[in-house]
Amino acid sequence: MDQQLFEKIIKKWRKRSNPTETLTLNQIANMVLLSGSSKNASIIGTTLSLFIQYFYPPKGSYGHKWGVNWTTVQRDHPHLFDQQPRPGQPPEPPTSRELLDDMKLALTDEIAEVKRELNDHPLNAWVQHELGMAGDGSFLYESYVELPRDTEFPIPEGVGIFLKFPRSVDPYLVEATLLSYDALNSLIIFEVTRPLSSRHVGTQFTIIPRLEELLVALKARLSALESAKAALSWRLLRGDFTPERRSWNGPVSKLGLDNPQ
């Protein structure tokens, strides 16, 4: 069983776009066992420890990511590398399960990266100007953002954000939408549904992007797609664009169509 799990780990890892990338035990568990739970991470950790000569363990007391020693794996387990297509023969297309697994793992990695980036580099800001009310009834503000030197602003325009104030300011967490970013002057414009109080305007706050909410929602949609085998999305993912003929006896609406259409 340990040998089978080891080989499965290697095969899954090798299919990644960057096989040299290091991963946490939870990420490996999600990739191989389809769930990054603590129990599965423990199973993966035990297996990696049993085959430690084929992996690079985390470095330092605070390290948590593992890598694969591909040179040693290829030397001792060449059969795991014998699945390359012959010259002129196209590789076998990935299965539906493999496509979903890869997408879920990519989303899990992205969520972890968002958390790490926010923890390492918080975005502090101050309101500079109140820009008044927009046509839709929202309220606009311009704020200065403190960024480390040579660091790009990590939040795309149009994404929802939280403005996190000290708990002495009520409410200390305000939902907003990032509208624009001026890289030259390090200024952002955001909108809120209710005007900020004078205490909000005069207090430093931290910007927290709500990208994670979007990623979690996408992951949930992928899970739903797994049970819908006839969905159009599968045909798009597999590159199967052949039209399927189906009989239709219902009425056809010609509204908005010209004669050739």
Among 39-48, 154-163, 221-230, 249-258, the least confident range:
221-230
Locate tokens 């605070």: which residue?
A: 62
Confirm if 161 and 208 have CB atoms less than 8 A apart. yes
Q: Is the pLDDT of residue 139 over 90?
A: yes
Is residue 157 within 8 A of residue 181, CB to CB? The reply is yes
- Find out if CATH 1.10.10 is the number for domain 2-82: yes
Strand segments, DSSP code E, in 170-210 are 173-182, 187-192, 205-209
pLDDT at 87: 45
pLDDT at position 176, please?
A: 94
Question: What's the pLDDT at 83?
Answer: 55
How is domain 119-212 classified at the architecture level of CATH?
Beta Barrel (2.40)
pLDDT in tens, 184-237: 899 999 999 999 999 999 999 999 888 767 666 676 777 777 666 666 666 656
Is 8:53 a contact under the CB 8 Å cutoff?
no
Question: Cβ of 157: how many Cβ atoms within 10 Å?
Answer: 13
| Domain boundaries along the sequence of the chain | 2-82, 119-212
